[in-house]
Amino acid sequence: MTAELLTPIQIENALGSLPEWSREGDSIHKTFRFEDFQQAFAWMIAIAHEAEERNHHPDWRNVYNTVEVTLTTHDAGGLTSLDFDLAREMNAAQRTIEAKD
């Protein structure tokens, strides 16, 4: 079952709770920065497990301590609750990783 596309108002409301995320067409985007490569990679591993459990995988790119993330629900052709749920999980995982140091 494919998740349903969110309306423009639902998207704006969801973005309101994720101020560091921005909309880029049919996706949302954020650049995460960490202390070093190890922190960035630990975060990516944690998110990889979450993404696999949800069967919702991010488009991302890692260079040293920076991870650029783009989320969209390809099957639905745009933004769904899956994207915003994973974005919130990513934010929480970043806080957890940073708190360990």
Domain boundaries, the chain: 8-99
Closest Cα to residue 94, out of 55, 64, 65? 65
Give the predicted TM-score (pTM) of the model: 0.94
Mutual orientation of helices 81-99 and 37-54 as an angle, nearest 10°?
150
Q: Give the pLDDT score at 2.
A: 73
pLDDT tens-digit profile of 39-87?
A: 999 999 999 999 999 999 999 999 999 999 999 999 999 999 999 999 9
Task: Say which CATH architecture domain 8-99 belongs to.
Answer: 2-Layer Sandwich (3.30)
Residues contacting residue 82 through CB under 8 Å, at least 6 positions apart: 3, 54, 56, 73
